């Protein structure tokens, strides 16, 4: 990278969100440079999650999480189909095991309908058993639009599209500074892993898209933003997964989720330990929710007992010995432990005195599903079409 070379937009971060933004921006005719500190794309949150295409049921109507998930899902299936990215619309059951959970899934149905999710239907115990003979519940909310996707394949398809439209990806570069300059912003980046030399290198741009995932709050702070005043400080929350050993002999056709702890959105916790299917036919359970882990991504084998207990409520007979520690991911959460719903931030920051800085902060689930819609919104923020 030549010192202070110029482009229209620098996107920081080559996860699903940054690559979707790069693709949408490049398609809109801007010159785009994507800067990523790792030696490849989708090495952080995008590759450590449930890989579920969410229908858009859970988040409060009108929130960005809800509108971008619904729009993102509508864009995603044709995108994956058209580019040959592996995915399957397997459908999902959100299972109630007692009366209080039946009330909650009925509340979720109302919320899903308010969010415009098609095809939702409440099932009785017999219909649940007909769909999934091993699942026990007094009822379930069935969502036919939910599915699974190869997250890395999706990210690579976004990169290919962005590059086809002229964007450039610069790997092994850690963005360490952001300062206003005559043209907009001057970014300083250091080479990682012996790449790019010892010195900080600079690039100028009109607009910076901060799509740095778990590093997005730190990047906003480097630009001069007061994280606590804006409410932009992230509180990473670990989610662990266990794979089900083949010896368990369990087959599932759908994603199977428990009723969430409340209808008012997942807040500081998650959606409950659910059964996800992977595209190779495996079954995985997770994620739980654990704050304060300081980047530790090891899965504690001792959790197999509590996982088996949680899953056993709707899938009786699951034994801890069948659960194999798989992987963990970190959610870039704006919500502190115990705090209620916090929305995505996808916003141009003129209001706070940072024109040309577009922050994507707190992009936890359903960020993979929402990525294409986030890309659209980023373009809209550039031309002032989207109300904040």
Ligand X SMILES: Cc1cc2nc3c(=O)[nH]c(=O)nc-3n(C[C@H](O)[C@H](O)[C@H](O)COP(=O)(O)OP(=O)(O)OC[C@H]3O[C@@H](n4cnc5c(N)ncnc54)[C@H](O)[C@@H]3O)c2cc1C
Interaction between residue 219 and ligand X (CB under 6 A): yes
Interaction between residue 46 and ligand X (CB under 6 A): yes
Q: How many CB atoms lie within 10 A of CB 321?
A: 11
Q: How far apart are CA 211 and CA 189, in angstroms?
A: 15
For residue 205, the minimal CB distance to ligand X (Å) is 14
Q: Which of 65, 254, 331, 377 binds ligand X (CB under 6 A)?
A: 331
DSSP class of residue 60 equals P
Interaction between residue 17 and ligand X (CB under 6 A): yes
Q: Tell me the DSSP string of 182-208.
A: TTEEEEEEEESTT-S-SS-EEEEEEEE
Which region among 48-56, 110-118, 124-132, 163-171 touches ligand X (by CB under 6 A)?
Answer: 48-56
Coarse DSSP helix, strand, coil percentages of the chain, rounded to the nearest 5 percent: 30, 30, 40
Cβ-based nearer residue to ligand X, 102 or 237: 237
Q: Which of 8, 290, 364, 376 binds ligand X (CB under 6 A)?
A: 364
For residue 362, the minimal CB distance to ligand X (Å) is 9
Hey, what long-range contacts does 98-107 have (CB within 8 A, 24 or more apart)?
98/138, 99/138, 101/138, 101/258, 101/259, 102/138, 102/139, 104/259, 104/260, 104/262, 104/263, 105/139, 105/140, 105/141, 105/259, 107/263
Interaction between residue 45 and ligand X (CB under 6 A): yes
Residues 21, 374 contacting (CB under 8 angstroms): yes
Cβ-based nearer residue to ligand X, 184 or 269: 269
Cβ-based nearer residue to ligand X, 56 or 139: 56
Q: Which of 67, 115, 359, 369 binds ligand X (CB under 6 A)?
A: 369
Beta-sheet pairing, 354-361 with 345-349: antiparallel
Which region among 81-89, 211-219, 291-299, 318-326 touches ligand X (by CB under 6 A)?
Answer: 211-219
Q: Which of 28, 49, 201, 230 binds ligand X (CB under 6 A)?
A: 49
Interaction between residue 215 and ligand X (CB under 6 A): yes
Q: How far apart are CA 288 and CA 259, in angstroms?
A: 14
Interaction between residue 329 and ligand X (CB under 6 A): yes
Residues 274, 258 contacting (CB under 8 angstroms): yes
Q: Which of 112, 139, 267, 287 binds ligand X (CB under 6 A)?
A: 287
Which region among 51-59, 180-188, 243-251, 350-358 touches ligand X (by CB under 6 A)?
Answer: 51-59
For residue 237, the minimal CB distance to ligand X (Å) is 8
Q: Which of 220, 368, 378, 382 binds ligand X (CB under 6 A)?
A: 368
Q: Which two tokens stand for residue 105?
A: 């899934």
Interaction between residue 38 and ligand X (CB under 6 A): yes
Which region among 1-9, 34-42, 301-309, 378-386 touches ligand X (by CB under 6 A)?
Answer: 34-42
Q: How far apart are CA 129 and CA 145, in angstroms?
A: 20
Give the up-direction half-sphere exposure of residue 153: CA atoms within 13 A in the CB hemisphere: 15
In the block, residue with structure tokens 């990682």: 192
Interaction between residue 52 and ligand X (CB under 6 A): yes
Interaction between residue 330 and ligand X (CB under 6 A): yes
Interaction between residue 14 and ligand X (CB under 6 A): yes
Residues 6+ away with beta carbon under 8 Å from 157: 79, 80, 83, 85
Using DSSP, state whether 107 is helix, strand or coil: helix
Q: How far apart are CA 362 and CA 189, in angstroms?
A: 23
Number of residues that bind ligand X (CB under 6 A): 42
Q: Tell me the DSSP string of 333-352.
A: -SSPTT------EEEEEGGG
For residue 320, the minimal CB distance to ligand X (Å) is 21
Interaction between residue 318 and ligand X (CB under 6 A): no
- Helix axis angle, 151-164 relative to 16-27, nearest 10°? 30
Interaction between residue 254 and ligand X (CB under 6 A): no
Interaction between residue 32 and ligand X (CB under 6 A): no
Q: Which of 150, 174, 217, 288 binds ligand X (CB under 6 A)?
A: 174
Q: How far apart are CA 171 and CA 40, in angstroms?
A: 7
Q: Which of 137, 147, 196, 366 binds ligand X (CB under 6 A)?
A: 366
Site residues (CB under 6 A) for ligand X?
12-18, 35-38, 42-46, 48-52, 54, 174-175, 211-215, 219, 239, 287, 329-331, 363-369
């Amino acid at each position: 990278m030549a010192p202070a070379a110029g482009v229209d937009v620098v996107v920081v971060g080559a996860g699903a969100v940054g690559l979707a933004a790069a693709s949408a921006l490049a398609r809109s005719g801007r010159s785009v440079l994507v800067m990523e500190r790792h030696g490849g794309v989708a090495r952080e949150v995008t590759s450590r999650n449930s890989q579920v295409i969410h229908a858009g049921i859970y988040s409060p109507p009108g929130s960005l999480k809800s509108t971008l998930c619904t729009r993102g899902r509508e864009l995603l299936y044709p995108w994956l189909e058209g580019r040959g990215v592996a995915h399957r619309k397997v459908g999902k059951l959100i299972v109630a095991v007692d009366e209080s959970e039946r009330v909650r899934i009925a509340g979720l149905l109302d919320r899903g309908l308010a969010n415009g999710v098609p095809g939702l239907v409440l099932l009785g115990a017999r219909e649940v058993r007909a769909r999934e003979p091993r699942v026990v519940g007094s009822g379930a909310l069935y969502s036919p639009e939910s599915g699974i996707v190869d997250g890395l394949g999706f990210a690579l398809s976004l990169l290919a599209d962005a590059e086809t439209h002229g964007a450039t990806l610069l790997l092994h570069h850690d963005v360490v500074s952001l300062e206003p300059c005559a043209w907009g912003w001057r970014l300083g980046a250091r080479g990682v892993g012996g790449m790019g030399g010892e010195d900080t290198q600079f690039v100028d741009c009109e607009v910076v898209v901060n799509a740095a995932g778990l590093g997005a709050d730190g990047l906003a702070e480097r630009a001069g933003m007061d994280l606590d005043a804006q409410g932009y400080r992230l509180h990473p929350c670990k989610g662990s997964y266990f794979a089900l050993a083949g010896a368990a002999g369990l087959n599932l056709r759908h994603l199977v989720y428990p009723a969430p702890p409340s209808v008012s959105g997942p807040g500081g916790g998650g959606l409950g330990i659910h059964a996800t299917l992977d595209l190779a036919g495996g079954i995985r359970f997770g994620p739980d929710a654990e704050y304060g882990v300081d980047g530790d991504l090891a899965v504690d084998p001792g959790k197999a007992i509590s996982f088996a207990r949680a899953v056993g409520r709707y899938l009786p007979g699951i034994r801890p010995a069948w659960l194999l520690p798989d992987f963990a991911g970190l959610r870039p959460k704006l919500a502190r432990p115990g705090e209620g719903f916090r929305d995505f931030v996808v916003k141009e920051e003129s209001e706070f005195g940072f024109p040309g800085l577009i922050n994507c902060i707190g992009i936890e689930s359903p960020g993979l599903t929402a990525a294409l819609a986030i890309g659209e919104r980023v373009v809209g923020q550039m031309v002032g079409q989207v109300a904040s």
